Amino acid sequence: MADQGKVDPMHQFEVQKMFDMFHVGNHEVAFTTSAMWMVIAGLLLWVFMIGGMKRQLVPGRWQVAVEGFTGFISGMMNANIGPEGRKYTPYVFSLFMFILMLNVLGLMPIGLFGAHPFTVTSHFTITGVLAILSFAIVLIVGFWRHGLHFFSLFVPHGTPIWLMWLIPVIELVSFLVRPFSLALRLFVAMTAGHVLMKVFASFIIDGLAASPAIGIGVGIPAMALMVGISGLELLVAGIQAYVFALLTSLYLNDAINLH
């Protein structure tokens, strides 16, 4: 391996133990930085929602912000599922807000004050559990509403009879891949963005360590790029949360209305 810089871009993803909790068999269950950031996200979300749920007739700024989010998600559910989707709006809304809050919290520049932001969604275990939750709800809703008729999902309308040996197999595989693609997309998008930012940050640090001239020559363009990429990452944080919620609603639509 060529010379590794002093800055390890993967170090930021290490989960550190904060204190022990209990043991399950031989497995240690500890309170980690990951868990701490999830608790922080949950608390912030709780404060955000409480502050905006005053139901004033003339809404203030805060209430408009909360209603903007709720209206956005319920509009999406209505457009994708129809009136049947109202029941599942709370789940998709919590999913969207939780992922959005975790993504944005991971980007906060609080490293300036000595705290270390940690992007919980950059771990496949977390996004995997969220994706399995969505997938399980799709399966439960599908089998509960349609029984074994749910399997007709694998036979799209108008499939020619001589293709019956192929199309259901393809549909089955694409159905089973859903939780993986859902989880992978969020996890890799967040990981990639944070690695990119740390690589640019290491340009500045390594440049300054080499010599002041190189530090200024490399550092200023790298810093300018980092500011731009931070903005892009904020966009990606929003889009990834939206895409997760959107795909969940589409999969729910499959389970509720079949094809």
User: Site residues (CB under 8 A) for other proteins?
Assistant: 1, 4, 10, 76, 79-80, 181, 184-185, 188-189, 191-192, 195, 239, 242-243, 246-247, 250
Would you state the torsion angle of the CA atoms of residues 156, 171, 247, 232, taken in this order, to the nearest 10 degrees? -130
Q: Give min distance, CB of 239 to other proteins, in A.
A: 7
In the complex with other proteins, the residue whose CB is nearer, 72 or 154, is: 72
Q: Give min distance, CB of 220 to other proteins, in A.
A: 26
| Residue 103 CB burial class (10 angstroms; 0-12, 13-18, ≥19) | buried
In the complex with other proteins, the residue whose CB is nearer, 23 or 86, is: 86
Q: Give min distance, CB of 241 to other proteins, in A.
A: 11
CA distances from 121 to 14, 87, 221 (A): 13, 26, 29
In the complex with other proteins, the residue whose CB is nearer, 35 or 153, is: 153
The angle subtended at Cα 241 by Cα 240 and Cα 243, nearest 5°, is: 60
In the complex with other proteins, the residue whose CB is nearer, 75 or 111, is: 75
Cβ–Cβ under 8 Å, residues 212 and 96: no
Q: Give min distance, CB of 48 to other proteins, in A.
A: 24
Q: Give min distance, CB of 258 to other proteins, in A.
A: 19
In the complex with other proteins, the residue whose CB is nearer, 7 or 243, is: 243
